[in-house]
Structure 1
Amino acid sequence: MSDFELLRPLWLLLLPFLAVLMLVIGRRPARLGGWDMALDPHLKAALQALGRVDAGRRGFAALAPLLAAGLIFAALSGPAVERRDAAAYRNLDGVVFVLDASESLDDGGKRLALQTAGRVGVAALQSRPAALVVYAGDAYVATDMTADTRQLGQTLSLVDGETVPDKGSRPERGLSLAATILAESGTLAGDVILLTDGAGIGPDAMQAAAEITGQGARLSVVVPGDIAAAETLASTGGGEVFRTPETQALASFLQEDARDRLERQDYPLLFRMDLGRYLLLLALIPVLLMFRRAAL
């Protein structure tokens, strides 16, 4: 089975010791704990006839405790298969798009290029939820965290230079608002995608990027061209820089990397079904046999 794996394989290191112990016990003759050497032979025979003395466990009954232990160790190793509904668990890895709505983007078609890149990114999210923040001199939530990414993409397309009444370019306001959205939505590992022409990126934006990484998320930047400040900001945020023509690279980044990142952050059970519980049920069979009592 190609999707089978062990979540905690080190537990299997105990199985060879159990195998050696089984071999030793299997070859050892059954004795009455040394009592057969102390009892008078006639008394021993009489007690056995009355059914008061167990002559000692042999075969499977003697090995039942070790068999149960072996099944328990196998269960603890975490045999698992991939969940068919794994995609539904991606809502733990949301995305916040932070779109620059300042008037400076109206020059040279920058706004259209950034919006096109943003729509491609939104279309690549599949089941990952997303939110949209717009900013200029201040920042506002245009769309809160939602799984309706089609509506979010339409909203992103409608943003223009008049959407935000506050003039200026304060990307740190948008980034701080994105960090708040991620925290309030309970996101375990998210992405913040800043779509900007690079204006206003300074120390405050770097501090906001550090806040985002402190929450276990990443900050990536989409810009129209080569902007040194954007490189520094993405480096601080643990993400990447994408130029507006690099829409396919942005889509791949959002679509393929999210699941691997959750698995690296010790959330493999979000994508795997641990079958160890069923092995524990099997271990009960030899355990119950240990409690058998001979009929009087």
Structure 2
Amino acid sequence: MADFHFIRPLWLLLLIAALLMPLVLKQFRSSDSGWTRIIPARLLTPLIQSSSTDGVGTRSPALPMMLAIALLSIALAGPSWRESPTPLQQQDDSLVVVLDLSLSMLATDVEPDRLTVAKRKIRDILEAREGSLTALVVYSADAHVVTPLTDDRQTIEGMLGVLDPVIMPAAGNRADLGIERGLNLLEQGAPGKGRLLLISDDVADRYQNSIRSTLTDSPYSLSTLVVGTPKGGPIPLERQGFIRDQGEIVITRADPDAMASVARSSGGQSHPLTITSEDIRALELRSEDAEEWQDSKLDVTVKRWQDDGYWLLWLAIPFALLGWRRGAVIVLAFIILPMTPRSAMAQSWDGLWQREDQRAPEMIRQNPEQAAQTLSDPDLRGSALYRSGDYESAIESFSKGDAPSAEYNRANALAKAGKLEEAVEAYDQFLEKHPDHEDARFNRDLVKDLLEQQQQQQNQSDQQNDQSGDSSNQQQQNGQQGSENQNSDQNPSSNPQNQSESQGEQQQQNGENSQQSQQEQNGQQDQQQEQSEGQSQSDTEADNDQTEAQAPAELDTSPLTQGQEQWLRRVPDDPGGLLRRKFLQQYQQRNTQTDEGDTPW
């Protein structure tokens, strides 16, 4: 027992309450209940028995309550005397932050500028995601990975300080390339639930379709954080004033609607960037928002003190029942409730105060499979089935719904199930009733494009099959002609004597050529050998001279002088130089084509 100690010793302060329990009970019994001022004594006496009228056999609850509180205090303090290996775990959640590094992020419509505010928010996200995997991607005219998925927040925080549009190899605003690069990181083996978070001021219309196409068949959602204001602001450059376009100062404006539209198309959410943690909670970016934990891939275990105090809780229960006989039912309720499955307890409790449509969003988010079994409304049940990936059942459920959005959701489920022609018909029917529904129109056009691509691929494959069939027939015909030629007496190669003579002449010619080439190679090798010998001899002489000149010198181990230290301090410290060179090399290797329609800011 030399290692015996308490993990949470402050809970031992409850022992003071246990010692004061007899005094509290005595004071409670001797005190006036207050009813004597309202009810006459002759009527109150039969209802309330004072300590003077208690029977001799009345049992005081002080002792059992003291023992119950004492045992509870020791149990909560966490008595421990042994260690056990515990595997390290990380939360089953991966997040790739895609940060806009275009010139528009230097706008000053928010103080001090959009980029500074965005980098502060990334630090807050990293702090809220302690223990979870996070990656960082930046983009302008091209996208680059700053850090892959890692649970080391200090690695990402160390890179944030040097992120600036000037380190990017070219100016632009290619949000589609940033999303594509972040999606590649998740597809390379992100554990558990993966998400993308875009932090920007706007997504150009020309790139929204590309982003939606990239995320169409992906299980990962995209959420957006909007930095900046719709009023916008100018873009200052150091020692160059503001960016101008044809003499006019450029005012770049944030577009929350465009950011929200891109997020909704992939099942994500959008929120304006705030100075509080409201946006982090709304987008569920915290570690505590992750529902599951998984063992670390490093397979590392640590020794932790085992908390054995829970055994004392079973001893405290009987004393609590003896001390509070009339409250035994409540005590049993506290015993039974923790044994009830959390999901069932939450549903039964919420069902007392909320309607099904109020409980459905949270149920679908937590466990869509179980929500599909619990919900009775066809529209809500269809949403749960859609979120769980059971698109066939979702189509059937949405078909029974009567909500205005049921037909639109049914069309989405048809598209996800691969029934593109039926999805286009469902979108058309929905647009006839709701012609102003932009999302439905966009999805309809996207599905039609996919359908046309499939038809083109099918036609190409049919043409290739036809061509392959024609080529096989041609080869068969050629084979027949070749066999006929071999059987013909007019073919010179069919004569063995002629064939041997031609082979002999060919071998003789090859031998002469090989002999001549061999002589030329030997001459070149002799010439190279002479040159190398002369060069090595001169190099040896130079090395000897250099060795003789350096022989008297000794290694200087004296400390740097003050002048040398001042000279070293003049060397510019450029921590972003490594990233700048890395991004430039990647940009040149990829040979990314500049989009003429893209703006440099």
- How many Å apart are 1:240 and its aligned residue? 1.6
Task: Spell out the pairing of 1:1-296 with structure 2 (5 A cutoff).
Answer: 88-90=89-91, 92-108=92-108, 109-198=113-202, 200-209=203-212, 211-212=214-215, 214-224=217-227, 225=229, 227-245=256-274, 247-252=276-281, 253-255=284-286, 256-259=288-291, 264=367
Change (3 A) 1:116 1:230: same
Whichever residue aligns with residue 274 of structure 2, its letter is: P
Q: Residue 515 of structure 2 aligns with which residue?
A: none
Change (3 A) 1:97 1:228: same
CA contact (8 A) 2:95 2:133 kept: yes
CA contact (8 A) 1:121 1:247 kept: no
CA–CA distance in structure 1, aligned partners of residues 87 and 124 of structure 2: 23
CA contact (8 A) 1:120 1:247 kept: no
- How many Å apart are 1:100 and its aligned residue? 0.5
Q: Residue 410 of structure 2 aligns with which residue?
A: none
**1:63-89 deviations in Å (ceiling 9; x for gaps):** xxxxxxxxxxxxxxxxxxxxxx79824
CA–CA distance in structure 2, aligned partners of residues 214 and 246 of structure 1: 34
CA contact (8 A) 2:94 2:195 kept: yes
CA–CA distance in structure 2, aligned partners of residues 112 and 89 of structure 1: 30
Change (3 A) 1:249 1:137: same
CA–CA distance in structure 1, aligned partners of residues 289 and 146 of structure 2: 26
SS of residue paired to 2:225: strand
Whichever residue aligns with residue 121 of structure 1, its letter is: I
CA–CA distance in structure 2, aligned partners of residues 101 and 115 of structure 1: 11
CA–CA distance in structure 2, aligned partners of residues 176 and 223 of structure 1: 19
- How many Å apart are 1:124 and its aligned residue? 1.0
CA contact (8 A) 2:94 2:190 kept: no
- How many Å apart are 1:174 and its aligned residue? 0.3
SS of residue paired to 1:221: strand
Whichever residue aligns with residue 120 of structure 2, its letter is: T
SS of residue paired to 1:94: strand
- How many Å apart are 1:132 and its aligned residue? 0.5
Whichever residue aligns with residue 236 of structure 1, its letter is: S
CA–CA distance in structure 1, aligned partners of residues 189 and 94 of structure 2: 9
Change (3 A) 1:156 1:191: farther
SS of residue paired to 1:132: strand
SS of residue paired to 2:184: helix
CA–CA distance in structure 2, aligned partners of residues 219 and 259 of structure 1: 19
Long gaps (5+) in structure 2: 1-85, 231-255, 293-363, 370-601
SS of residue paired to 1:158: coil
CA contact (8 A) 1:201 1:230 kept: no
Structure 1 length-normalised TM: 0.55
CA contact (8 A) 1:101 1:163 kept: no
Change (3 A) 1:162 1:206: same
Change (3 A) 1:86 1:170: farther
- How many Å apart are 1:145 and its aligned residue? 1.0
Change (3 A) 1:103 1:181: same
Deviates more, 1:203-212 or 1:137-146: 203-212
Q: What RMSD in Å do the two structures reach over aligned CA positions? A: 2.8
- How many Å apart are 1:152 and its aligned residue? 0.7
Q: Residue 577 of structure 2 aligns with which residue?
A: none
SS of residue paired to 1:120: helix
Q: Residue 388 of structure 2 aligns with which residue?
A: none
SS of residue paired to 2:130: coil
Change (3 A) 1:231 1:220: same
SS of residue paired to 2:223: strand
Identity in percent? 24
CA–CA distance in structure 2, aligned partners of residues 258 and 240 of structure 1: 16
CA–CA distance in structure 1, aligned partners of residues 367 and 216 of structure 2: 16
CA–CA distance in structure 2, aligned partners of residues 137 and 112 of structure 1: 20
Which has more radius of gyration? 2
Structure 2 length-normalised TM: 0.28
CA–CA distance in structure 2, aligned partners of residues 212 and 159 of structure 1: 27
CA–CA distance in structure 1, aligned partners of residues 279 and 166 of structure 2: 27
SS of residue paired to 2:277: helix
Whichever residue aligns with residue 238 of structure 1, its letter is: G
- How many Å apart are 1:263 and its aligned residue? 6.3
CA contact (8 A) 2:272 2:279 kept: no
Change (3 A) 1:217 1:158: same
CA–CA distance in structure 2, aligned partners of residues 236 and 86 of structure 1: 39
CA contact (8 A) 1:101 1:161 kept: yes
Regions of 4+ moved over 4 Å: 260-263
Q: Residue 9 of structure 2 aligns with which residue?
A: none
CA–CA distance in structure 2, aligned partners of residues 161 and 114 of structure 1: 13
